[in-house]
Amino acid sequence: MNIYKNLNEITKYIDENLEEDINYEVLSKFLGVNVYTMQRLFTMIAGISLSEYIRKRRLSTAGFDLYKGNQKIIDIAVKYQYDNATSFSRAFEKFHGIKPSLVNKETKLKNFPRIVFNEDIKITTELDYEIITLDEMNLYGICIETNNEKIGNDAPIFFKEAQNKYKSKYGEIKYGMITYDINREESEKYYCLYDKKIDEFEHIIIPKSKWLKFRINSQDAKDIQEISHKFYKEFLPSVKYNLKEIPELEYYHDDVTDFLVAIY
């Protein structure tokens, strides 16, 4: 399977159906994986979440429609799947920097082009892994809010702060975890977790599951992030594993890190 060719089929399909309700189940079939896996792959490889990509493509083409000047704002709003003119106008102004009612032939608008992936990219990286089964885990921890752009800096800073604050009281932090928003595309929170009950911390239950385990001979944030990126950009596109809607975990022990990804 050429993942980049299939991703091009996805962006082509999206462009051909911007005026329709785009079904993620249909998009996932281009990759032969479930919806959650498709969303994670698209976000990591494209560098933008799928929902944000679709939104920007719709607003780009909506700008061209308004520039032509032969359609009403409400008609364009409905055309590009907005519930009403108000929500469309707000999104349009945020993207283009101008209210849709002020667009004319002299207006400078923004264009977000269709993403076209290079289909000649060769994936040659080898990653050793195991498939393991872990029973239900009861973890306790603290978190910060974050997003896809900030997570790379937020996670190691927060981990260091939490370790310095709680190590003498509770010992070494055992796990790191990233959770995602309701659309399952944008990083939402980063957790530092312990595998023992701590009343002042949030209780997180991780259900029993099969996991892909990648051993990292380091606990350095850069090394962990490198493996995470390789997993999504090189390993996962070349296999057929379906991801579960369980956040990936970083398990810190014995001066190493196990990067854990739940699968069916």
Confidence grade of residue 217 (pLDDT, cut at 50, 70, 90): very high
pLDDT digits (tens, 9 = 90+) for 48-79: 999 999 999 999 999 999 988 778 999 999 99
Structural domains of the chain sorted by starting position, each given as residue range(s) with its CATH number in brackets? 3-102 (1.10.10.60), 130-263 (3.20.80.10)
pLDDT digits (tens, 9 = 90+) for 95-113: 999 999 998 877 889 999 9
Question: Is residue 228 within 8 Å of residue 248, measured between CB atoms?
Answer: yes
Tell how far CA 32 is from the center of its chain: 18
Q: Which is nearest to 239 in space by CA: 39, 30, 33?
A: 33
Tell how far CA 222 is from the center of its chain: 19
Count Cα atoms within 13 angstroms, Cβ side, for 137: 22
As a whole-number percent, the residues of the chain with pLDDT over 90 amount to 78
* pLDDT recorded at residue 216: 96
pLDDT digits (tens, 9 = 90+) for 2-11: 889 999 999 9
pLDDT digits (tens, 9 = 90+) for 16-54: 999 999 999 999 999 999 999 999 899 989 989 999 999
Tell how far CA 86 is from the center of its chain: 28
* pLDDT recorded at residue 125: 65
Query: Residue 123: is its pLDDT beyond 70?
Result: no
113: buried, middle or exposed (CB in 10 Å: 19+, 13-18, 0-12)?
exposed
Confidence grade of residue 1 (pLDDT, cut at 50, 70, 90): low
* pLDDT recorded at residue 186: 80
Distance CA 236, CA 261 (A): 11
Phi first, then psi: what are they for 206, rounded to 5°? -105, 115
Looking at the whole model, is its pTM more than 0.85?
Answer: no
Q: Which residue has the higher pLDDT, 87 or 124?
A: 87
Tell how far CA 45 is from the center of its chain: 10
Reported as type and span, the H/E element at residue 161 is helix 151-170
Contacts of 164 (CB under 8 A, 6+ apart): none
